[in-house]
């Protein structure tokens, strides 16, 4: 892990020339390329047919006929969706494309590339993350259905849910599970996906540079308190506790990473 850490965090040092953030200009008006049209149509068909994660998609031969494009464009379109996690390609006999998921982690991953090119730093990412999660927690506590709030937060208000058996993947998944549950109460998928993506980048990057399980003792009671505030419907308290919770993580990272928080966010 050490080699990756050094490579990831040092490569941006010393490069203070960033690409200014622009509107993208005329690129918004350019027509979609054939591969992008295919990708759009596949996603459209997944929605129209109400398919869920793991459901099979037509074979390549069938898609070539269905979408009327070249094999090259079809494969490029499938690849575009595959890297975003929206589909998965099962290899081997009986394999083929299947429906994937809509994950804030994937959105975060591609966002990190934008952040890097703009020169945005880890410091800025952490700032955005604290604000975003505070906003989600406040909105979650405002959800009008007290029964739903209680049911969604119940796994986190009851004892210590973070018993993942020590595996890093399991720990990260359980930690993300709490934040996802809070975000789900916002009932706005645009906010849920975009604001959650910051935390996904942070989790991914912290896991690359350090073992976040050492943070467990600091975090385990925080979730309990936030979940209780959301359940009780206290928006301000939920926001304050969430911000405090994440500042703990930021302070921890600052201590561990020092000046490297001023480097540009990497695409990991
Ligand atoms: Zn947390």
> Measured in angstroms, how far is the CA atom of residue 71 from the centroid of ligand 1?
44
> Measured in angstroms, how far is the CA atom of residue 55 from the centroid of ligand 1?
32
> Measured in angstroms, how far is the CA atom of residue 179 from the centroid of ligand 1?
6
Give the whole-number percent of the chain exceeding pLDDT 70.
83
Instruction: Please tell me the distance from the alpha carbon of residue 124 to that of residue 120, in angstroms, as a whole number.
Output: 6
**Of residues 249, 220, 240, the one with CA closest to residue 137:** 240
> Measured in angstroms, how far is the CA atom of residue 12 from the centroid of ligand 1?
28
Q: Tell me: the pLDDT tens digits for 195-239?
A: 999 998 888 877 777 776 776 666 778 899 999 999 999 999 999
Q: Which residues of 213-238 are buried (b: 16+ CB within 10 A; e: fewer)?
A: bebbeebeebbbbbbbbbbebbbebb
Instruction: Please tell me the distance from the alpha carbon of residue 248 to that of residue 244, in angstroms, as a whole number.
Output: 6
pTM metric for this prediction: 0.82
Contact of 177 with 219, CB cutoff 8 Å: no
For residue 146, give every residue at least 6 positions away whose Cβ sits within 8 Å of its Cβ, in sequence order, or none.
231, 233
Q: Predicted confidence band at 3 (pLDDT cuts at 50, 70, 90)?
A: very low
Token representation of residue 211: 């073992």
């Amino acid at each position: 892990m050490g080699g990756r850490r050094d490579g990831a965090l040092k490569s941006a040092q010393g490069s203070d020339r960033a690409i200014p953030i622009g509107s993208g200009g005329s690129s918004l008006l350019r027509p979609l390329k054939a591969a992008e049209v295919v990708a759009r149509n596949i996603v459209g068909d997944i929605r129209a047919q109400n398919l869920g994660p793991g459901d099979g998609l037509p074979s390549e031969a069938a898609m070539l006929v269905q979408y009327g494009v070249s094999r090259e464009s079809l494969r490029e379109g499938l690849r575009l969706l595959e890297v975003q996690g929206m589909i998965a390609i099962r290899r081997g006999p009986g394999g083929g494309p299947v429906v994937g998921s809509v994950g804030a982690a994937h959105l975060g991953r591609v966002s990190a590339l934008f952040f890097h090119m703009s020169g945005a730093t880890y410091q800025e990412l952490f700032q955005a993350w604290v604000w975003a999660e505070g906003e989600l927690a406040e909105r979650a506590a405002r959800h009008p259905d007290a029964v739903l709030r209680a049911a969604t937060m119940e796994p986190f208000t009851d004892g210590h849910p973070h018993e993942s058996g020590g595996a890093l993947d399991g720990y990260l998944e359980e930690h993300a599970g709490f934040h996802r549950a809070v975000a789900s109460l916002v009932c706005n998928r645009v906010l849920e996906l975009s604001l959650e993506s910051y935390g996904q980048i942070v989790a991914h990057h912290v896991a690359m540079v350090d073992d976040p399980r050492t943070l467990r003792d600091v975090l385990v009671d925080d979730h309990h308190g936030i979940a209780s505030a959301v359940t009780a419907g206290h928006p301000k308290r939920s926001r304050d506790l969430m911000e405090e919770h994440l500042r703990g993580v930021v302070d921890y990272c600052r201590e561990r990473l020092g000046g490297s928080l001023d480097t540009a966010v990497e695409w990991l």
